Amino acid sequence: MIQDQPLRFTSQQRHRLLELGLLEKQIEEVQRSALPAASAAIAGDPTLQDVRDEFQALLDAMGSAQEAMSKLLRADAGTPARAKVFQLIEIADFEMQGDGRIIEKALYPLTAARATVRRARNALADEQSRQNGASFYPVQQIDDALWQGFLKHYHGNADIPAYNVKRSSSETSAYWEIIAICYEAIGREKQNLERPIKAYLKWCKTHDQPLR
């Protein structure tokens, strides 16, 4: 997503980040690389209604096909034209080494598939909430930028001190507040941070990501 204006921390946000122990280079790196990436990732999430509409369009199309195929299989084919269609389909199936029951055989998996799609649609609200809340890409981008900024600050130094950022899922931690300020800077101050932060820390643990 292209921003009309570059994403920037306010003076108050910048001051608070310094109070939390960040270096100027870290703040600049987060502002330069992480904020645009995080904003684009979150903005790219489809709305719940858009996903619902896609599900409904698919269900409607499958339902129409299901109904049409069921009509062909009824004993009273309904109309001479429909009976002729069924006859021609049987002939075509025989010509393709079938047994003339292609419509009958196709109807069951279509019915099962539609039931599966409906189940997925019904679970959409919980799944959408879980995915939107737990997606840790923005947190990962912020975390990586903090590390890159730290390295830039001490570039060329013989002695590099211990890393100044400690990952934590505690709401009272400096790490949590840093992430919260970054989300606020991209207009997502109301975002639930517990899921993405915990998901990212779990990912770091399972992928042997260093604590820096």
pLDDT (tens digit per residue) in 98-121: 898 999 999 999 999 999 999 888
Which pLDDT score, from 0 to 100, does residue 99 have? 92
Residues of the chain with pLDDT under 50: 1-3, 132-133
Among 129, 145, 161, where does a domain finish? 129
Q: What is the residue whose two structure tokens read 């975390």?
A: 143
Which pLDDT score, from 0 to 100, does residue 86 have? 87
The C-alpha angle with vertex 196 and arms to 195 and 199, in degrees rounded to 5, equals: 80
| Phi, psi angles (nearest 5°) of residue 132 | -65, -40
Number of structural domains (the chain) is 2
For residue 122, give the amino acid letter.
N
- Do 125 and 141 reside in the same domain of the chain? no
- Do 40 and 139 reside in the same domain of the chain? yes
Among 87, 105, 129, where does a domain finish? 129
Which pLDDT score, from 0 to 100, does residue 72 have? 86
Domain that holds residue 190: 11-45+135-206
Residue 179, both tokens: 């992430």
Task: Confirm whether 36 is domain-assigned.
Answer: yes
Spatial contact of 193 and 180, defined as CB atoms under 8 Å apart: yes
Distance separating alpha carbons of residues 27 and 25, to the nearest angstrom: 5
For residues 158-176, one letter each, b for 16 or more C-beta atoms within 10 angstroms of the residue's C-beta and e for the rest, the string is eeeeeeebebeeeeeebbb
- Do 62 and 93 reside in the same domain of the chain? yes
Which pLDDT score, from 0 to 100, does residue 63 have? 95
For residue 59, give the amino acid letter.
L
- Do 117 and 155 reside in the same domain of the chain? no
Q: Which of 81, 3, 88 is nearest to 40 (CA)?
A: 3
Among 89, 113, 129, where does a domain finish? 129
Task: Confirm whether 3 is domain-assigned.
Answer: no
Distances (CA, A) of 23 to 30, 151, 162, 167: 11, 11, 13, 16
Residue 132, both tokens: 């939107």
Which pLDDT score, from 0 to 100, does residue 84 have? 87
